[in-house]
A and B are shown apart, each in its own frame.
Chain A
Amino acid sequence: MSHSLDLFGAASPDGAWTVGEVTRQARAVLEAGLGPLWVRGEVSGFKAWQSGHWYFALRDRTAQLRCVMFQKDNRRLPGPPTDGMQVFVFGRPTVWEEKGEFRLTVIELLSTERGGLWQLAFEKAKAALQKDGLLDPARKRPLPLYPARLAIVTSKDGAAVRDIIAVTRRRWPSLELFVIPTKVQGDGAEDAICRALALLGRIDRLDVAIVGRGGGSREDLWSFNSERVARAVAAVPVPVISAVGHETDSTLCDLVADHRAPTPSAAAEAATPDRRDVAADLGQLSARLARGLGRRSERVTQRLDRTLDRLGSAVTLRLERQRHRLSAVSGRLDALSPLRILARGYALARDAEGRVLKRVAQFPPGSAFRLRVSDGEVAARATGEAS
């Protein structure tokens, strides 16, 4: 088609263009004349369709420009812009033939506000987590002092997993490690991390978990700013250490976790005691134990010695005394023995019951009694009055 001005053609209904021809032509002219470009403006009438495509207009004081951003392009962004937001968009001006509409097919969208869309999406998710109490410091659980089992949720191929294994083996070699490999960035990373986190609750006798990755750009770390991932972290039944390698901002994952570490290695250190420290503690306890017993046994030994001394002399004295007493008693016994007296010619008078009869009144006339003499007993009877 030639576009030299043909007044006659243009003036004649016979030469009329079809709608399709005009719009197609307009599109060709527009696309040839205006290549891909950056546009700055304010978002207005934003609408996300079921298909995932975004429709909105960019405005300034004098004009408005209709925009579409397809799902394949907008899914890289952390979240949608809001009406009134100042943005830069990069896109191709075109004509949407079916609607005869001039519009911009947007490929990239940046907010001019500080932090932009990232910040917006972050704040929105953070507010939701806050509302549900998931950022409450009282929720934070202490890390176990002497863990036996640790799980690591991270990329199988990253430096993070190797660093954590190396550090924990050096510090606390008895620790059993469970790696739960997951994609940590790109399409599907959020789902993968959530699935991996859900597996943590299935590991028997798990003490503590580390979730994270090595450093990366803010975009690379974005999965750890996902509200879904943050909620999955909060749902883990054991204490979680977040190690998303970046120094400046905290991710939502960091905020929800029980402990935040700046790097995977630091997370491994937070998760484990150093066996050298524990060995030093044990050494001290061992020394105190020995001293404790030493002191005790010294004191006890001294006391025992004293006791033995006292006991010793007491026994000797007592024995000595006993011996004296014994000989004295036996001497007295000997002296008291009636047999000795009887042997000297005395006799002992006793009644039928064996009672010794010592006085005249005990011998009524005619009463029977027995006389014990040195070599035996004789039956006797009182014959008369006392003399």
Chain B
Amino acid sequence: MTSEQASFARQLERLEEIVRRLEAEDLDLDQALKLFEEGVERLRQARERLTVAEAKVKQVLSEHAGKLRVEDFDG
């Protein structure tokens, strides 16, 4: 699992946790506000991920001396 996709999965997990705590726990207002703010920020980041511009398609042509030859795919 790469850090990028793991981070998205973790982002969602953390969001779930925040929501559950806000719903269930008897937090004081200060803690609740802190959690809420963190949740809002994580939501923003997660939504950004959904609307990000399409990544370019690459093609991997060969490997030489441990290096991949990669170029844009024009297919």
Q: A: which residues have CB within 8 A of B?
A: 144-149, 151, 156-157, 161-162, 165, 169, 173-181, 199, 202-203, 205-207, 275, 278-279, 281-282, 285-286, 288-289, 291-293, 295-297, 300, 304
- CB pair A179–B19 under 8 Å, yes or no, is no
The proximity string for B residues 1-18 relative to A, scoring 1 for CB distances below 8 Å and 0 otherwise, is 111110011001001101
- CB pair B2–A207 under 8 Å, yes or no, is yes
Q: B: which residues have CB within 8 A of A?
A: 1-5, 8-9, 12, 15-16, 18-19, 22-23, 27-29, 32-33, 35-36, 39-40, 43, 46-47, 49-50, 52-63, 66, 68, 70, 73, 75
Residues of B within 8 A of A179 (CB): 57-60, 73, 75
Residues of A within 8 A of B52 (CB): 173-174
How many Å lie between the Cα of A179 and that of B70 in the bound state? 9
- CB pair B32–A207 under 8 Å, yes or no, is no
Given contacts A293-B33, A296-B27, contact A173 B8 (CB under 8 A): no
How many Å lie between the Cα of A206 and that of B15 in the bound state? 25
CB distance from A183 to the nearest CB of B (A): 14
CB distance from B20 to the nearest CB of A (A): 9
CB distance from A78 to the nearest CB of B (A): 29
How many Å lie between the Cα of A291 and that of B56 in the bound state? 39
How many Å lie between the Cα of A178 and that of B4 in the bound state? 16
Q: Which partner residue on chain B sits nearest A172 by CB separation? A: B50
- CB pair A205–B2 under 8 Å, yes or no, is yes
- CB pair A207–B5 under 8 Å, yes or no, is yes
- CB pair A156–B23 under 8 Å, yes or no, is no
Residues of A within 8 A of B54 (CB): 169, 173-174
CB distance from A239 to the nearest CB of B (A): 10
- CB pair A300–B28 under 8 Å, yes or no, is yes
- CB pair A146–B8 under 8 Å, yes or no, is yes
- CB pair B58–A177 under 8 Å, yes or no, is yes
How many Å lie between the Cα of A185 and that of B59 in the bound state? 20
Q: Which partner residue on chain A sits nearest B10 by CB separation? A: A146
Residues of B within 8 A of A293 (CB): 22, 32-33, 35-36
- CB pair B36–A156 under 8 Å, yes or no, is no
- CB pair B57–A165 under 8 Å, yes or no, is yes
Contacting residue for A176 out of B28, B29, B58, CB 8 A: B58
Residues of A within 8 A of B29 (CB): 296-297, 300, 304
10 closest A-B pairs by beta carbon, nearest first, are A292-B22, A148-B4, A205-B2, A300-B29, A293-B36, A146-B8, A296-B32, A176-B55, A179-B59, A174-B52
